[in-house]
Amino acid sequence: MVWAWLIGGVGLAAAAYLVGWPAWIGYRSREARDLNAERYLAWRGRADRTRGGSMSEGMTGVERRRLWIAAVLGVAAVFCFVGFFTYA
C-alpha cells in the first residue's frame, strides 16, 4: 500500500509535466518571436514610437488552462509524495 503513494506521485508528476511543458514552451517561444520582431522593427527604424509597451499578448486560454491543470496535478503529486514519506 505504501508503494501506491510513490507510484501515484510519480505518475501525477509525469502527467503534470506532459500537460504543462508544451504550453509553457509554446508561450515562451511566442514571447521570444515577438521580442525578435520588435527588435528587428526598431533596428529598421519602423518601430511604433507611440506605443510604450511591448508586443506581448500573454498566454492563450488553452495555455492558461493547461498550466492550471498541470499545477493541480503537481499539487496532487506533492500530496502523494508526502503520503509516501509519512507512511514509509
Using one digit for the tens of pLDDT, what is the confidence trace for 49-80? 666 555 567 888 999 999 999 999 999 999 99
Which residues are CB-neighbours of 15 under 8 A, at least 6 positions away? 73
Q: What is the pLDDT of residue 46?
A: 74
In a domain, 82, yes or no: yes
pLDDT more than 90, % of the chain = 56
Q: Is residue 6 part of a domain?
A: yes
pLDDT of residue 10: 97
- How far is residue 63 CA from its own chain's centroid? 8
C-alpha cell at 86: 509519512
Q: What is the DSSP string of 74-87?
A: HHHHHHHHHHHHHH
- Confirm whether 13 is domain-assigned: yes
Lookup: cell for 76? 496532487
- Residues 6 or more apart whose CB falls under 8 angstroms from that of 8 comprise 77, 80
Inside any domain, residue 18: yes
Mean per-residue pLDDT of the chain: 87
Does the residue 29 lie in any domain? yes
Check residue 22 and give its pLDDT.
96
Question: What pLDDT sits at residue 51?
Answer: 60
Q: How far is it, in rounded angstroms, from Cα 63 to Cα 21?
A: 10
Is 53 a domain residue?
A: no
Residue 49 placed within a domain: no
**Structural domain range at position 23:** 2-44+58-87
Q: Specify the number of domains making up the chain.
A: 1
Cα angle 38, 67, 62; round to 5: 70
State if pTM tops 0.85: no
Judge whether 52 lies within some domain: no
